[in-house]
Structure 1
Amino acid sequence: MSFRQISTARLLDPKRFHNGLPDGWNRDRFRQLCVSYAQIRGVSAQCIRTFEIIIDMISPNAFRDPSQEPFCYARQETLIAGRRLTDRTIHNHERNLEAIGLIERRLGENGARCKRKGLGLFLTPALNLIPEMHDAEAQNKADKKEHDALRGDRSRLYRYVKHGLAVLVSLPCPPKGCEDMMEAFRSWPRSDKLKYMSLEQLKCHVQAAHDLWKRIDGHVAKPGEISGAPEACFGSHIQDQFEETILSCNADGESSMPSAEASEPDCSGSGPDGPAHCSESNHPTDPAGRKAQKLPRVNNRILYDLASPELRMHIDIAGGGDQNPNPSLYAIETGIWSRLSEIGTNVSAWHEAINRLTLMGAILAGVITDARLSDPKLPLVVNPGGYLRGMVQADERGELNLISSFMGLLARRAREEDHGLG
């Protein structure tokens, strides 16, 4: 080979360098990022374990020094390490890791590895992939959060659609298309299948479910009411008066509606069969014999007036996007949870509030928690989720008085309106 050919070959050879780990990082943190990225890319657990063995065989200093490339020159037998895998499996693992950009295979003939000759599995590509791995991790977290929110929305829609259909079929003359709506409802996947749906598939399903609910609500809803005449076991809808006790809205299970029992939609094969805490489960989590929380009974218009501007925005979005001073119960529940999530409340705190206070109590507690953030006369609430949990714990001790809190919020909104702040 001539000198000209050698020079050309060197120019064509890609430069292999890295800037080392970011400040404050060590090998273990880098490994965690790589493992997370590999999981996002769908790499098997066995393959990830192979990668962890590879990275553990490299000196930590090699990841920090840009003048040297971190590489593993261990033989495949060493990587197997008594894991009952074949050489072919390890070879496939290495190819998969190379395909997603975590390693580069620079091997000799027949896959030879040698420290002196610089042959082995190099992790330089992974070091140069750190920004992309960060982006992928952030996107994955955002997708999971959106997936959880969509499943929660489907859970709420399931309850409202089931109730609405039961009301429609109990009418002397069910509206045209009722059978089609029931058939569409029966075709819904079970709640325990939703987690395995892709984000796009779940978006399409929830949108279709929401469209079905809007069709049903158009037949059921009446002026001044939430969703038609409330059924006996669906829960006490919000009214404009006070009462000493309130029936628990079965937010954790499917209501059996006695008044429509003969014509209740048949959901066999499509209904949920999740764990006891699942909001579509058939197993109520409300402890038997627990004393019901005393709740004010108010209409939807009053709740909307009591809501903060931010909360009203979320209720409007849940109701279709237009301002509606008399929204549906579905829009109120969805809007309140969206607002609580926005201010940092964990979903488990919301579920605990529903389980303990009933859906109506949780709605009132959510409105009060949101209003508490902007109360100028009281100390700032740093942790809204903790504040909501505190209300649940106060109820467990028998110290919660939602009626008093509700009356206090009414008085506060009246003062703000008098001063032109509402």
Structure 2
Amino acid sequence: MTRLAARAAPLFPILTLPGGRSALLDLVRAVRHLLRPAPCAGAIHALADMIAATRPSDWTDPKAEPCCYMDAVEIARARGIPASTWRRYEAQLAAARLIERRTAANGARSRWIGTGIFFGPLLAQVGDLLAIREQAEAERRAHAHLRGARSIARRHLRHAIEVLIERGAASEAVQALVAQHNAWPSAEALHRIPLVELRRHVEEAEALCRKALVLIESHEKSSDGPLSFERSHIQDTTQDHKKSGTAGVDMWGTGKPVQDNSSAAPPVGSVGREEKNEGVPNPAVKGKFIDRLGPQRLFELASAEMQQDLLRHGSDPSELTLFDFICAAYDRFPHLGLRPRLWEEWAQLMSEEELMLCTLITDARRSDPETPVISPGGYMRGMVRACQLGTLNLTGSLIGLNERRLAEERT
């Protein structure tokens, strides 16, 4: 009985991926560069040829191990490559634990003597490969999101510097901001920065933007002037802005010709491919809705998750700025099933304050006890279309959200 049970037990892992061998090859191709050691592209093509030479039934039969019995010289000849190259491919695949080579002393392979290229190692690590692919995809999405966050911070910092220059703020402080801004890596260089370093850079970029906003606030208070520097969100961004004092347009290039300052940010109106401002309105420094409601109340209208994001920037909600709310709203995009690129696209159709409020409202209404938003992405797209048609009623939506919060507070 024990012998019969052992004979009936599965001896080899089987392929359970939907899509079969084709899906398995797609998985290997997706994670090839993450394997250690990583096989070359030619080795992966060789793997595909060897898998194609196996019996399909062996991949789903626990009593059989998929195997390629074709001789290396024979396959190499069919591929039109030297046999030594093919053997090098096999060695790479074996080192990556994708195959196991069992050959006779002379390198021969035969079904009758149990020699050939076996794929048990590959089947045994399918779960690990799936986990590697999932982690790589998560890191790719996080990297794209952080690049978008840097784009937002750069746009707001550049505008804040322009405002400081126009208002005649201390040139030393502005020069320091410009110098730090110009030291930032270009949009293209961001793609080559590891995720951990990029996250740290974005945090520093956002902190520098908040520092510039504090300088604006301090300057306005010291000059007893109203916060009247907010530009219309429909202003033509190609307009030339006059600079006052010693800090003119040349500040962006720190006195050097553009071609000699490749690591610095380009002059206003000539930003990198990833961070273009074409069609994207200049950001406002202070939002009209925050003026009306106050940051404390707007904070209270946000979802608990968005409130946590906002509190990362300070413990006092009453001191939150429009930039804080924009950063927090952008960070909610992945949780609403929205790609980072949509923020830039939709910021061309409405002001970033309006886009932030649409995100805040959509995110908050997901937990509405009576009419919860089931499809946040679809709801957001509907609000964007309403804005294009001129029927978007943010005030009404905020009033409704406020009434719901008041009801919750009473209970």
Q: When the two structures are superposed, what TM-score results if normalisation uses the length of structure 2?
A: 0.77
Structure 1 equivalent of residue 59 of structure 2: 63
1:385 aligns with 2:377: yes
Point out the more displaced range, 399-408 or 151-160.
399-408
Gap change, CA 1:254 and 1:129, over 3 Å in 2: farther
- CA distance in 2 between counterparts of 1:281 and 1:64 reads 51
Instruction: Provide the aligned length of Structure 1 versus Structure 2.
Output: 374
Structure 2 equivalent of residue 342 of structure 1: 335
SS of the residue 2:319 aligns to: coil
- CA distance in 2 between counterparts of 1:177 and 1:285 reads 27
Equivalent residue runs for 1:257-276 within 5 Å: 257-259=241-243, 262-263=248-249, 265-267=251-253, 268=258, 269=262, 270-271=264-265, 274-275=272-273
Deviation by residue 1:258-288 (Cα, 9 ceiling, x = unmatched)? 356825641553337554xx4x1142268xx
Aligned residues: CA RMSD = 3.5
- CA distance in 1 between counterparts of 2:79 and 2:229 reads 60
Structure 2 equivalent of residue 357 of structure 1: 350
Could you list the structure 1 runs, at least 4 aligned residues long, displaced by more than 6 angstroms after superposition: none
Structure 2 equivalent of residue 316 of structure 1: 311
Which AA in structure 2 matches 1:390? Answer: G
Equivalent residue runs for 1:193-342 within 5 Å: 193-222=189-218, 229=227, 231=229, 235-236=231-232, 247-248=233-234, 257-259=241-243, 262-263=248-249, 265-267=251-253, 268=258, 269=262, 270-271=264-265, 274-275=272-273, 278=274, 280-284=275-279, 297-299=289-291, 300-301=294-295, 302-317=297-312, 319-320=313-314, 322-342=315-335
Alpha-carbon offset, residue 49 of structure 1: 2.1
Contact 1:365 1:391 in 2 (8 A): yes
- CA distance in 1 between counterparts of 2:387 and 2:190 reads 33
1:405 aligns with 2:397: yes
Alpha-carbon offset, residue 106 of structure 1: 2.4
Which AA in structure 2 matches 1:358? Answer: S
Structure 2 equivalent of residue 124 of structure 1: 120
SS of the residue 1:121 aligns to: strand
Structure 1 runs not aligned, ≥5 long: 1-16, 237-246, 287-294
SS of the residue 1:90 aligns to: helix
Which AA in structure 1 matches 2:89? Answer: H
Point out the more displaced range, 130-139 or 80-89.
80-89
Equivalent residue runs for 1:59-98 within 5 Å: 59-76=55-72, 79-80=75-76, 85-98=81-94
Gap change, CA 1:78 and 1:177, over 3 Å in 2: farther
Equivalent residue runs for 1:7-46 within 5 Å: 18-22=12-16, 26-41=20-35, 43-46=39-42
Gap change, CA 1:177 and 1:259, over 3 Å in 2: closer
Gap change, CA 1:23 and 1:86, over 3 Å in 2: closer
Alpha-carbon offset, residue 147 of structure 1: 1.2
Contact 1:162 1:265 in 2 (8 A): no
Alpha-carbon offset, residue 360 of structure 1: 1.8
Alpha-carbon offset, residue 349 of structure 1: 4.3
Structure 1 equivalent of residue 155 of structure 2: 159
Contact 1:166 1:265 in 2 (8 A): no
Which AA in structure 1 matches 2:26? Answer: Q
Gap change, CA 1:274 and 1:182, over 3 Å in 2: closer
Which AA in structure 1 matches 2:359? Answer: G
Gap change, CA 1:124 and 1:333, over 3 Å in 2: same
Structure 2 runs not aligned, ≥5 long: 1-10, 282-286
Deviation by residue 1:364-395 (Cα, 9 ceiling, x = unmatched)? 21122123223344x33111011001111233
Deviation by residue 1:275-330 (Cα, 9 ceiling, x = unmatched)? 4xx4x1142268xxxxxxxx96442514324323332222222x25x242231222
Structure 2 equivalent of residue 11 of structure 1: none
Structure with the higher helix share, 1 or 2: 2
Alpha-carbon offset, residue 169 of structure 1: 4.5
Contact 1:365 1:402 in 2 (8 A): yes
Gap change, CA 1:204 and 1:28, over 3 Å in 2: same
Which AA in structure 1 matches 2:178? Answer: M
Structure 1 equivalent of residue 103 of structure 2: 107
- CA distance in 1 between counterparts of 2:350 and 2:77 reads 54
Point out the more displaced range, 194-203 or 348-357.
348-357
Alpha-carbon offset, residue 102 of structure 1: 0.8
Q: When the two structures are superposed, what TM-score results if normalisation uses the length of structure 1?
A: 0.75
Gap change, CA 1:80 and 1:221, over 3 Å in 2: farther
Alpha-carbon offset, residue 86 of structure 1: 3.9
- CA distance in 2 between counterparts of 1:153 and 1:285 reads 15
Alpha-carbon offset, residue 332 of structure 1: 0.6
- CA distance in 2 between counterparts of 1:90 and 1:100 reads 16
